[in-house]
Structure 1
Amino acid sequence: MPITLGPQTCGALTADGGAEHEWLVTDGLGGFAAGTAAGLRTRRYHALLTVADPATAVRRVGLVSLDLTLTLPSGAHVPLFTHQWASGAIAPQGHRHLESFTLADGLPRWRWRVGDVVIERELAMRHGCPSLAVVHRVVSAPEPVGLAVAAMCTWRDAHGGRHADGPPPRTTQLGDGVLVEDAYRLAGPGWQPGGGWHLGAYHRQEADRGLAATEDLWLAGTFVDRVAPGGTSEISAWAGPLDQRPPAASAVVAAARERAHTLRATAKADGSDADLVLAADQFVVRGPDGPDVVAGYPWFGSYLGDTMTGYEGLFLETGRADEGRELLLARTRAAARAAREQSGPWGPHGSLDAPLWLVHAVDRHVARTGDSDLAHELAGPLGRLLRGHLGGRGALGVDPADELVRLDGEALSWMNAATEHGPVTPRIGKPVEINALWVNALAALAGLHEEAGRDAGELRDRHARARASFAARYRAPEGWLYDVVDGPASAYPLGAGAFDDDPSLRPNQLLAWSLPHAPLAGRADPDRDRAAVRAVGAALLTPLGLRTLAPTEYGYQGTHRGGRDERDIAYHQGTVWPWLIGPYADACAATGLPTEGLLTGLEAHLRDWGLGSLSETADGDPPHRASGCPFSARAVAEALRTRGYAR
């Protein structure tokens, strides 16, 4: 279903205009092209060729923009591109000539109208290659028109900037274009070498986030062409192998469109489901060790917790079980190795629930595909992983008194935000989400052992003890579950005061009902469970997901804006996370509450901000403006997974 924005949106750079609607195209390797519908670069990450190093996954920005100027039959020159500068000036203002922006088959297309002349630009990336294809089309004109496309370049870390106080990018002029920094090439018609810095390109989104907001751009040269009505002009940019020119740009665009059709057909998806399938594909990449998942664009990398939380939606709901199997094997080996070395995703800045999500993902894969061979291969390594991970070393340990997991380190669950003053939500003690995942993992691991023909008696006994302890320990008198039990009174400096058990109303407790082997699923008190889930929904549910803290709680933050510390304080103190709609829908289904209509707001959000995708976070207060990363793997995955019963 194409997403089309008209001139009133495209031609505005205000709060809800085209500069707030972002697009993304990926190469399947971790590289990407990204920008806004208006054509204005608002982030340091907005560029047409960002390349991921295959060995390290570090991303570098190369081709920043292709600035198009139209020469009319009258000889008048009309810039169709837009930049904002550190002075505050917006010049030129090519967005004012936009007639429409369309995202169709995951590919962006701009359409400019200047009187009776209509020009289109469409772009795609070649899947599996760090390669960009750009096609300019003269849709209508009374006679041939001139197209001049200035290549604005850099070569820098994607999270940084490059400025004129250092050396300019090294360029080697070629017959049809240029080689930049021996890292990437540009090729197209009528190449004319350039040179010179354009100073002070300004990124308003970075300024709003309290980060460095300017960079300088190098004009490498200009492609100049004269195109008749109905004709095209094509430009390619690629980062290796540099001596192998990619297929024609129009062929790359056609192949990308055909691939989108194949992805939808494989997943048997149409409508908004098709949008979600294409969005999911953007996060699945292939690295040196096989398939991997980018947690979000444009700035996140790969994290075990995010990958496994979204595994079922990204792989099993999209017909990619074979790739998923390869991923599970590789990540289990890597996680087990990191556990032995006491490093990896449960290090000082990681998520300690990541291995528990890994067990969950393997369990769901085996349950849905019947892959007993995978159960046989991974049951042992996963058991050793959990013993190493939860054996009392480091930050985690199992309390022998009740078989529940205690965190001794600070901010080590998925709620891991911290400022220079310390963790915002320390979660020392026995967090509800860690222990719900632990109970689920014990049962899942027992099932995997049994599927593999091994004895699981000890695991079943431990699961029964942990499940009984959970049911006895987490019921809070307020009617929902404690968020943390057995926590030291000093662990919550931002909370309501000294306590050992934290009754703050948060969404973490949903895992107690939502997981396949959830500790409270099927217990003997359904009315109490239903009331608890209803209380969560009443306080936390929004059109875009669930708040991380009820507005009535001390420390609630209704907006997720400002500098880094301000955003980190709000990150899990009221900010909405769309991925939580999955656990909420599951908990509703498990307790007999209605699930219909839960995805309505998220389906509309596909056309709100990160076009064709779902954002990482949103403000807790209405109208729940999106924030954080515009393209989030977990959000897309959970919407895909629950679409069958939450629509």
Structure 2
Amino acid sequence: MDFQLDRKIGNNFQSATTKEWLVTNGIGGYSCGTLTGVLTRSYHGLLIASLQPPVARTLLLTKLDETVSYQGKIYELATNVWADGTIAPQGYLQIESFAVEGTTPIWQYKFADATLSKKIWMKQGENTTYIQYHYQQGHEPLILALKALVNYRSHHHVTIDQSNYLITHNSDNSLKIQANLDSPCLYLYGLNDHQIQSHYLGGEIEKNLLRTANPELQTYLSWSIANIWYLDFALAVETYRGLKDQENHLLAGIGEITLNVGETVTIIASDQPITEKTIAYQYSQHRQRERELIELFTRTKSKRKTPLNRPSTGLKEKANEIPAWLEHLICRADQFIVDRNLTDNQQGKTIIAGYPWFTDWGRDTMIALTGLTISTGRYGIAKEILLTFAKYIDRGMLPNVFPDGNNRPEYNTIDATLWYFEAIRQYYHATNDRDFLTQIYPVLQEIIDWHIKGTRHGIKLDGDGLIYGGESGVQLTWMDAKAGDWVVTPRIGKTIEINALWYNALIFMINHGEIIGQSTQQYQQLAKLTQSSFHKFWYAEGEYCYDVIDSPLVNSGNDRSFRPNQIFAVALPQDIEHSQALFSLSQQKSIVDQVTEKLVTPYGLRSLASDHPDYIGIYQGDRISRDASYHQGTVWSWLIGYFVQSHLAVYQNPKLACSFLLSMVKHIEDSCIGSISEIFDGDRPFHYRGCFSQAWSVAEMIRSYLVCLK
């Protein structure tokens, strides 16, 4: 289940520096960086703590720059790039290999005849990062020195300050670091094998943390306080994004330890003092949790009667085995599921939309929920998320931006609420949880009622049974880029995917209302009217669908821009009782064929056809430039899932449909190793952009793969 990269990749500076790793803690905090250790983003750091889970993410520990003294020579293992372009030190040349085990990044450094490994993981539920060094082989002791570079800022910003921090030694030889008296603390510990064992309170200790050698031969890591600023780190990705691209970090202290062959030292960075109970946290527990997730997926898949010995789809798989890439995505799926404190002092669950910078969004959560939780067998988590969001439904709408502290939720989304129906449908289909259906059905009835009579932002059911929505200055659909007061793709009117989702919601209300004995006559009438009016979306001359109809922004009222949103009218709903196809089979085929020709790329679908005058093929530049291209040609990986589903509906060829996922499997070895990026350039070579690990991208890869196997 490992991804392994050898010295050839690791020593290629440009290639290795674009590859990133990510570990998370289940409450919104994370640790991430590049394979070489070079900082290229403001979001890179060993401990980005979530101080108000799952938000208020704050950089505390930036990095540990390692130096090894061995056989009388000094070997730098760290790598930094400075504002003048200098690369110093150049420790990437010592990287023998890099691997990802589950979600854990593992390096092997080779110098002379010695090998030192490093791995990084976090504790679930705490802002605590573990950085473990193991002296694997050599002929004499080595001295490992670690420069602890720290900071205190939002992960969105950069630091130019050079004020001294408050740094003290604790009685257990740890460091306590504060930017000021009012800021949270960073605690740094350096624990070797003997210390970990002596503080352990019971249970089985992971084998590689045990020492059988004489404890008297061991040396404790000692810290010396520095309080010196290192200036002008260069952030290459922020340069590309048109943002502040230089930063200063404080060298808080230097830790040093002598290791004999076979010995291990673990650095623990946390925003809380480490007690005896937490010292014993083992890597084996972390890995066991990931193995259990894969086992749960396997059991769930078996119960769904999706055989493992099906015909090969060509996606690096063997009979009766889960493909290695899928195991990685199952582990990555867990990284997006986080705790959220609710307004009634209870704890709920939500989904981080993407790392490193997104929080939890209503739309992203509902789209990603099926692939992240239901497809992986985590039904309890799915239910908890659905109930969490139910608490915030207001005037028939789910919040787009989830409430954070005392901030009021923002209800500026037309589709999050309709995706909520689909998420509930998928949950019930997997669980037959009638009690939940009975509980949630009145909530859904209220949502339908609000859409009929009209709610915020001009969202209302028109006389033809189609949903109209939008007003000046507000972005409501998933194509929601906005720079200042400029809404790039306003899409005011009747949008095609919104109405496909509306019809899908009505069919849900009919089928599931009958299950619990509710009258569904109103929904049957509405569904019939919606279905009969859907022909208005058909652009006969082009033999595809208008993206928006009855729009005040277009002279004819109908927007002929060729966009991917029409695939949802083919993909939803499918094989559901009481549903009727929204278009004829020949029309569906024309949609799928033209989308294949004009929008499909190896990594998802373009958001706009390249022959459109507003098409922008490269996503780059400052925020305004990037927002201008965000939905005007940029490729979105999550769309591949519903394209595969629509292709399968038309051609009934699972192997052919699944073939569109092939390049995405290869992408899992790029960017954030083991995950899938948010977006890609619309032009070749389709470089990955945006968040390097996106919830709905991972979710749709899992879900659509399983759809192909049914």
Instruction: State whether TM-score is above 0.5.
Output: yes
Corresponding residue number in structure 2 for 1:126: 123
Q: Aligned partners of 2:4, 2:96: CA distance in 1, in Å?
A: 10
Corresponding residue number in structure 1 for 2:102: 105
One-letter amino acid of the counterpart of residue 448, structure 1: H
Q: Aligned partners of 1:68, 1:521: CA distance in 2, in Å?
A: 63
Bigger drift between 619-628 and 261-270 goes to 261-270
The Cα of 1:616 is off from its aligned counterpart by: 0.2
Match for residue 38 of structure 2 among 37, 40, 47 = 40
Q: Aligned partners of 1:376, 1:63: CA distance in 2, in Å?
A: 48
Match for residue 295 of structure 1 among 353, 368, 371 = 353
- The alignment partner of 2:392 has SS state of helix
Contact 2:396-2:448 within 8 A present in 1 as well: no
Corresponding residue number in structure 1 for 2:596: 537
Corresponding position: 1:63 with 2:121: no
Contact 1:145-1:227 within 8 A present in 2 as well: yes
Corresponding residue number in structure 2 for 1:312: 370
Contact 1:315-1:324 within 8 A present in 2 as well: yes
Match for residue 600 of structure 1 among 646, 662, 667 = 662
Corresponding residue number in structure 1 for 2:185: 183
Q: Aligned partners of 1:559, 1:311: CA distance in 2, in Å?
A: 30
Corresponding position: 1:562 with 2:621: yes
Q: Aligned partners of 1:78, 1:350: CA distance in 2, in Å?
A: 54
Q: Aligned partners of 2:409, 2:145: CA distance in 1, in Å?
A: 51
With over 3 angstroms needed to count, the CA separation of the structure-2 counterparts of 1:173 and 1:387, relative to structure 1, is farther
Corresponding position: 1:512 with 2:512: no
The Cα of 1:632 is off from its aligned counterpart by: 0.4
Corresponding residue number in structure 2 for 1:450: 514
Corresponding residue number in structure 1 for 2:199: none
Q: Aligned partners of 1:141, 1:342: CA distance in 2, in Å?
A: 55
Corresponding residue number in structure 1 for 2:145: 148
One-letter amino acid of the counterpart of residue 168, structure 2: T
Q: Which structure 2 residues correspond to residues 429-444 of structure 1 after superposition, within 5 A? A: 429-444=493-508
Deviations 1:491-516 (A, max 9, x none): 26xxxxx4311111111011101123
Q: Aligned partners of 1:447, 1:483: CA distance in 2, in Å?
A: 28
Contact 2:451-2:460 within 8 A present in 1 as well: no
Contact 1:545-1:581 within 8 A present in 2 as well: yes
Q: Which structure 2 residues correspond to residues 262-341 of structure 1 after superposition, within 5 A? A: 262-268=292-298, 269-288=322-341, 289-336=347-394, 339=397
Contact 1:105-1:257 within 8 A present in 2 as well: yes
Q: Aligned partners of 2:461, 2:633: CA distance in 1, in Å?
A: 31
Q: Which structure 2 residues correspond to residues 209-608 of structure 1 after superposition, within 5 A? A: 209-240=241-272, 242=273, 244=275, 247-248=278-279, 251-268=281-298, 269-288=322-341, 289-336=347-394, 339=397, 350-388=412-450, 391-409=453-471, 410-420=474-484, 422-488=486-552, 491=553, 498-516=555-573, 522=581, 525-592=584-651, 594=653, 595-608=657-670
Contact 2:165-2:227 within 8 A present in 1 as well: no
The Cα of 1:404 is off from its aligned counterpart by: 0.9
Corresponding residue number in structure 1 for 2:17: 19
- The alignment partner of 1:612 has SS state of coil
- The alignment partner of 1:194 has SS state of strand
The Cα of 1:392 is off from its aligned counterpart by: 2.2
The Cα of 1:564 is off from its aligned counterpart by: 1.1
Contact 2:362-2:402 within 8 A present in 1 as well: no
Deviations 1:424-472 (A, max 9, x none): 2110111111111111112212333323321111112111111111134
Contact 1:131-1:239 within 8 A present in 2 as well: yes
Contact 1:164-1:199 within 8 A present in 2 as well: no
One-letter amino acid of the counterpart of residue 284, structure 1: I
Contact 2:507-2:579 within 8 A present in 1 as well: no
Q: Aligned partners of 2:622, 2:580: CA distance in 1, in Å?
A: 41
One-letter amino acid of the counterpart of residue 164, structure 2: P
One-letter amino acid of the counterpart of residue 433, structure 1: E
The Cα of 1:533 is off from its aligned counterpart by: 1.3
One-letter amino acid of the counterpart of residue 285, structure 1: V
Q: Aligned partners of 2:111, 2:394: CA distance in 1, in Å?
A: 60
**What TM-score comes out, normalization by structure 1 length?**
0.93
Match for residue 158 of structure 1 among 145, 155, 167 = 155
Contact 1:336-1:381 within 8 A present in 2 as well: no
The Cα of 1:2 is off from its aligned counterpart by: 1.2
Deviations 1:32-65 (A, max 9, x none): 1000111111111100011112356210111110
With over 3 angstroms needed to count, the CA separation of the structure-2 counterparts of 1:198 and 1:386, relative to structure 1, is farther
Identity of aligned residues (%): 31
The Cα of 1:348 is off from its aligned counterpart by: 7.0
The Cα of 1:525 is off from its aligned counterpart by: 2.3
One-letter amino acid of the counterpart of residue 2, structure 1: D
Deviations 1:593-615 (A, max 9, x none): 54131210111110011110000
Q: Aligned partners of 2:402, 2:24: CA distance in 1, in Å?
A: 27
One-letter amino acid of the counterpart of residue 377, structure 2: G
One-letter amino acid of the counterpart of residue 45, structure 1: Y
Contact 1:83-1:92 within 8 A present in 2 as well: yes
The Cα of 1:171 is off from its aligned counterpart by: 2.5
Structure 2 unaligned spans of 5+: 179-183, 191-220, 299-321, 342-346
With over 3 angstroms needed to count, the CA separation of the structure-2 counterparts of 1:5 and 1:454, relative to structure 1, is same
Corresponding residue number in structure 2 for 1:495: none
The Cα of 1:475 is off from its aligned counterpart by: 4.2
Q: Aligned partners of 1:202, 1:505: CA distance in 2, in Å?
A: 40
One-letter amino acid of the counterpart of residue 266, structure 1: L
Bigger drift between 594-603 and 171-180 goes to 171-180
- Aligned residue pairs: how many? 634
The Cα of 1:145 is off from its aligned counterpart by: 0.5
Contact 2:648-2:708 within 8 A present in 1 as well: no
Contact 1:125-1:253 within 8 A present in 2 as well: no
With over 3 angstroms needed to count, the CA separation of the structure-2 counterparts of 1:639 and 1:340, relative to structure 1, is closer
Q: Aligned partners of 1:278, 1:31: CA distance in 2, in Å?
A: 16
- The alignment partner of 1:510 has SS state of helix
CA RMSD of aligned residues (A): 2.3
With over 3 angstroms needed to count, the CA separation of the structure-2 counterparts of 1:126 and 1:336, relative to structure 1, is same
Deviations 1:144-178 (A, max 9, x none): 0000011111111111122334x333323213221
Q: Aligned partners of 1:257, 1:158: CA distance in 2, in Å?
A: 27
